[in-house]
Amino acid sequence: MFAALRKSNLVSYLRPSNLFAFGKSFSSSIAATSAPNANAPKYSASRCRNLFSRIRPVRRDRDIVRILDRWVAEGRELHPLEFRPLIRELRRRRRFSHALQISEWMSRHVCKLSPADCAIQLDLIGVVHGWEAPESYFNNLSEQDKNEKTYGALMNCYVREGLLTKTLLHVERMKNVGYGSSCLTYNNLMILYRKAGQLEKISEILSEMKKNGVAPNNFTYKICINTFRERSDLSSMEKLLDEIESQTDISIDWSTYSTVAYHFIKANEKEKALTYMKKLEEKLDKDALGYNHLISLYAHLGDKGEVMRLWGLQKFVGKKQINRDYITVLGSLVKLGEMEMAESVLKEWDSSCRIYDFRVPNILLIGYCQKGLIEKAEIMLRDIVKGGKKPIPNSWAIVSAGYIGTHNMDKAYECMNEALAVKEKNMKWIPKPGQIRKILEWLGDKGMIEEVEAFVQSLRTVIPVNRQMYYALIKANRRVGRDINWILESMKADDIVVDEETQKMLSQR
């Protein structure tokens, strides 16, 4: 468990982000083109914001249509263009079902959808319902609405599901109607072959693009660069980058250089990595995310001086650092073992933050636990609580994992109880199974019966009931000579079969 803490929590903050944005690439290719009805009211940005303010807090699907119906019932006007920003924003927030409901409501009550609107609706249907529903939707479109955007949206659905044969047949149909030679189509094919593990096909597609006079874009080259890395073909990756740099119509962004540098770091090619990191820095301007990537890369190389130089430069050129920036630099300093410097940066953040985001101090908690300073991590967290802050359960779980790593199960149990007590601060939090298993095993062997029962009851509010919970209950009750028939009945009610391990426990009564 503690090893998992070391390998996953901290590294996830330091790894440069995956640079593929397939959904974003598709979305950006679709632009609304239909003209509103002549009798429609004038577009109002404030009205659009007002409607979104009602939709934003909604989580239940059935409430979206109610809000829209109520909006109309209040006598408010509607303009088609006011719905498109709502749909776009909900897609950005990955609230695809809500975006689809608005799109469908718009088509019923506001206006006939343009081909671009149809393409977006088709893609949303694919995300929400799988590939068969958008296929049916596409087949029922008028010939006028079956244009490059809707053909591309259906292809997007097939690619997302990894349907190789269907995608290739669809591309042939697209070629037959003159829509199969766009850069987006080729990019989607590359993504499909990458998903299928047929990496050798990607170079072939790039060659076909050039042969057919289709200019690759930055996204195309990023796919190819990552493919060469996956094939451990760094030589071809360098050659491709040289080719890109020689083109006047393609401007390499910092994220491409970040990807290449990271691959060379992983390959232990430090000098080549530094070459591309210098090029990365030249592209940064005031891009805070770019600084975060570069800081992380230097942390991977173990260069504290460059980490701090770039952090100072980022603060100089940027208006204000956000929590993400502090998470990056703190993670880098912890990785480098510079705990005192990390403490100083955390104090700086604490004095200036408007909203206390526990993901920031969590970085230091992880660092302390990695170094075996579990008590210091707990003291730090309890001091934050004394200051009036209510931590997220993840914070207590980090400290609990640290105590498990040092076999201090009393404290591990105590801190996990603290985590369960604040679960409402992160309703999506799920404790790690291995961590819970070890605490349950310890409770079953040594915990008081009241502690075991209370802990299991709390666990059931965040994870489904499982066999380990019942093992702990059986062992604890058996230790004090209590009847355990009620536990067996409860297991039966929860559809948990009495297995060999359970039978072994029962035979020891």
Identify whether 441 is part of a domain: yes
Q: Is the pLDDT of residue 7 over 90?
A: no
Mean pLDDT throughout 149-168? 94
pLDDT at 109: 80
Mean pLDDT throughout 271-288? 94
pLDDT at 484: 84
pLDDT at 36: 45
Q: Lowest mean pLDDT: which of 10-19, 201-210, 312-321?
A: 10-19
pLDDT at 48: 65
pLDDT at 430: 94
| Counts for the chain of helices (H) and strands (E), in that order | 30, 0
Identify whether 344 is part of a domain: no
The two tokens of residue 73 are 């019932």
CA atoms of 165 and 187, how far apart (whole Å): 17
Query: 100: how many CB neighbours lie within 10 A of its CB?
Result: 24
Helix (H, G, I), strand (E, B) or coil at 153: helix
pLDDT at 56: 82
Can you tell me which residue has the tokens 């703190």?
A: 330
Q: Binning pLDDT at 50, 70 and 90, where does residue 47 land? A: low
CA atoms of 53 and 283, how far apart (whole Å): 37
CA 64 vs CA 61, 93, 100, 102: distances in Å: 6, 15, 10, 7
Q: Binning pLDDT at 50, 70 and 90, where does residue 337 land? A: very high
Q: How many CA atoms lie within 13 A of 373 on its CB side?
A: 14
Identify whether 466 is part of a domain: yes
pLDDT at 483: 84
Identify whether 278 is part of a domain: no
Q: 364 and 383 in contact (C-beta within 8 Å)?
A: no
Q: Which residues contact 241 (CB under 8 A, 6 or more apart)?
A: 225, 252, 256, 260
Task: For 269-324, give the DSSP string.
Answer: -HHHHHHHHHHHHHT-TT-HHHHHHHHHHHHHTT-HHHHHHHHHHHHHHSS---HH
Identify whether 468 is part of a domain: yes
Q: Which domain holds residue 491?
A: 433-509
pLDDT at 34: 43
CA atoms of 77 and 44, how far apart (whole Å): 10
Q: Considering only residues 295 and 505, tell me which one the structure prediction assigns the higher pLDDT.
A: 295
CA atoms of 245 and 248, how far apart (whole Å): 8
pLDDT at 413: 97
Q: Considering only residues 44 and 109, tell me which one the structure prediction assigns the higher pLDDT.
A: 109
Q: Binning pLDDT at 50, 70 and 90, where does residue 13 land? A: very low
Q: Is the pLDDT of residue 40 over 60?
A: no
Q: Running DSSP on this structure, what letter comes out for residue 5? A: I
The percent of residues in the chain predicted with pLDDT above 70, rounded, is: 90
Q: Is the pLDDT of residue 157 over 90?
A: yes
The two tokens of residue 321 are 């650092």
Q: Is the pLDDT of residue 468 over 60?
A: yes
Q: Binning pLDDT at 50, 70 and 90, where does residue 399 land? A: very high
Q: Is the pLDDT of residue 341 over 90?
A: yes
Q: Taking the CA atoms of 473, 478, 482 and 488 in sequence, report the sign of the dihedral they define.
A: positive
Mean pLDDT throughout 464-487? 89
pLDDT at 42: 57
Highest mean pLDDT among 34-38, 149-153, 353-357: 149-153
pLDDT tens digits for 63-75? 888 888 888 888 7
CA atoms of 67 and 58, how far apart (whole Å): 9
Tell which residue, 170, 199, 200, 201, has the closest CA to residue 185: 170
Tally of domains within the chain: 1
Identify whether 55 is part of a domain: no
CA atoms of 276 and 406, how far apart (whole Å): 41
Amino acid at 342: A
pLDDT at 296: 98
Q: How many CA atoms lie within 13 A of 17 on its CB side?
A: 12
Q: 378 and 408 in contact (C-beta within 8 Å)?
A: no
pLDDT at 39: 52
CA atoms of 262 and 293, how far apart (whole Å): 9
Tell which residue, 97, 96, 105, 41, has the closest CA to residue 69: 105
Q: 219 and 27 in contact (C-beta within 8 Å)?
A: no
Q: Is the pLDDT of residue 324 over 90?
A: yes
Mean pLDDT throughout 232-257? 89
Q: Lowest mean pLDDT: which of 49-53, 157-161, 262-266, 498-502?
A: 49-53
The percent of residues in the chain predicted with pLDDT above 90, rounded, is: 63
CA 397 vs CA 9, 14, 285: distances in Å: 12, 20, 39
The two tokens of residue 235 are 């030589």
Q: Is the pLDDT of residue 3 over 60?
A: no
pLDDT at 190: 95
Amino acid at 63: D
pLDDT tens digits for 213-231? 999 988 899 899 989 988 8
Identify whether 290 is part of a domain: no
Burial label, 461 (beta-carbon count in 10 A; 0-12, 13-18, 19+): exposed
Q: Is the pLDDT of residue 445 over 90?
A: yes
How much is the mean pLDDT over the chain? 87
Identify whether 177 is part of a domain: no
pLDDT at 27: 44
Q: Binning pLDDT at 50, 70 and 90, where does residue 370 land? A: very high
Mean pLDDT throughout 242-254? 87
pLDDT at 295: 98
Q: Is the pLDDT of residue 57 over 80?
A: yes
pLDDT tens digits for 304-316? 999 999 999 999 9
Q: Running DSSP on this structure, what letter comes out for residue 355? A: S
Q: Is the pLDDT of residue 349 over 50?
A: yes
pLDDT at 19: 30
Q: Lowest mean pLDDT: which of 108-112, 410-414, 434-438, 505-509?
A: 505-509
